Amino acid sequence: MTLLTVIILAVIQGITEFLPVSSSGHLALAGTVMNIPPGDITFEVVVHVGTLMAVLAVYWKDLVGLVSGVLRKQKESLILAGLLVLGSIPAAAAGFLLADSVEQLFDRPVVVSIMLIVTGCVLFSTRLAKQGKRENPSIIGSLMIGLAQAVALLPGISRSGFTISSGLFAGIRKEKAARFSFLLSIPAIAGAAVLKLGDIGESGIELPLIIVGLVVSAVTGYLALRLLLSFLSKGKFSVFAWYCWALGLSGLVISITGG
């Protein structure tokens, strides 16, 4: 891999991991449209760790407070921890059972493009969600968000887009829906990296390029997450639907016409 390729892939991963536009969809289409060679497993683990660092940087106070509260057996923290565990089950089960089947879809640009259009529809539908008042989801709401995260294993489906949208429809306040979504993403992102560790062989990427990939994905991920939270607080979450539609339709046209 060249330095330019590493930077491009790390930027795509960092930005789109948190903006509701699907990182998997962008990486799949980038490989098809731009002829960017796929990174090896080592690089995939590196950029996942980079985006995990971004989440921890933004939500470290919430995470420390949650862990501290659980250790002190505080009711609110125990409830939130339980809901996060419950919400993590669907994606963990789907990842374990369907990983190979889902992996094959990354080589099908038409499927990725259609899923991006679906993501846009879900984002646009949040305009119909009533202003939430809940601090945390109910048990049913947690499962609903967890199922949304499981569906987001499909390339082109945005994890943040689906989980935050589900949180909004579950009646959670905007900032709390985002908090639950990204706390839920910590085991999901870490799990994705750990699952790939077993496939790591001798990396073809030099150490300086690995460091560049880690730093770039972490920095761009942090900035993207802050940008998303800003859009969400201003009630502009659904604006990302237009981007998903444009990219999805473009991908369909290119795939069908062979352009």
Q: What is the pLDDT of residues 141-183, one digit of tens each?
A: 999 999 999 999 998 999 999 999 999 999 999 999 999 999 9
The residue ranking higher by pLDDT, 16 or 199, is 16
Cβ atoms of 25 and 155 closer than 8 Å: yes
User: pLDDT tens for residues 85-144?
Assistant: 999 999 989 988 887 788 788 778 899 899 999 999 999 999 999 988 999 999 999 999
C-alpha–C-alpha distance, residues 171 and 128, integer Å: 12
Mean pLDDT in the chain?
Answer: 88
C-alpha–C-alpha distance, residues 208 and 201, integer Å: 18
pLDDT at 107: 76
Tokens of 72: 């002190």
pLDDT band at residue 201 using 50, 70 and 90 as cut-offs: low
Asked whether the predicted pLDDT for residue 233 surpasses 60, the reply is yes
pLDDT at 197: 64
Per cent of the chain over pLDDT 90 is 62
User: What's the pTM value of the predicted model, to 2 decimals?
Assistant: 0.90
In the three-class reduction of DSSP (H, G, I as helix; E, B as strand; rest coil), residue 134 is classed as: strand
pLDDT at 33: 63
Query: C-alpha distances in angstroms, 241 versus 58, 64, 84, 109?
Result: 24, 33, 27, 19
C-alpha–C-alpha distance, residues 250 and 255, integer Å: 8
pLDDT band at residue 196 using 50, 70 and 90 as cut-offs: low
- Cα within 13 Å of Cα(249), Cβ side: 8
Per cent of the chain over pLDDT 70 is 90
pLDDT band at residue 26 using 50, 70 and 90 as cut-offs: confident
pLDDT at 198: 57
C-alpha–C-alpha distance, residues 25 and 206, integer Å: 26
Chain-centre distance for alpha carbon 110: 20
Q: Which residue range(s) make up the domain with 41?
A: 3-257
pLDDT band at residue 37 using 50, 70 and 90 as cut-offs: low
Asked whether the predicted pLDDT for residue 215 surpasses 60, the reply is yes
Asked whether the predicted pLDDT for residue 202 surpasses 60, the reply is no
pLDDT at 97: 85
In the three-class reduction of DSSP (H, G, I as helix; E, B as strand; rest coil), residue 182 is classed as: helix
Buried b vs exposed e over 218-255: b needs ≥16 C-beta within 10 Å? Answer: bbbbbebbeebbebbeeeebbebbebbbebbeebbebb
Count up the domains in the chain and report the number: 1
Closest CA to 17 of 187, 185, 196, 240: 185
| Amino acid at position 219, single letter | V
C-alpha–C-alpha distance, residues 161 and 181, integer Å: 9
Closest CA to 164 of 174, 154, 151: 174
pLDDT at 242: 97
pLDDT at 108: 85
Total Cβ atoms within 10 A of residue 45: 23
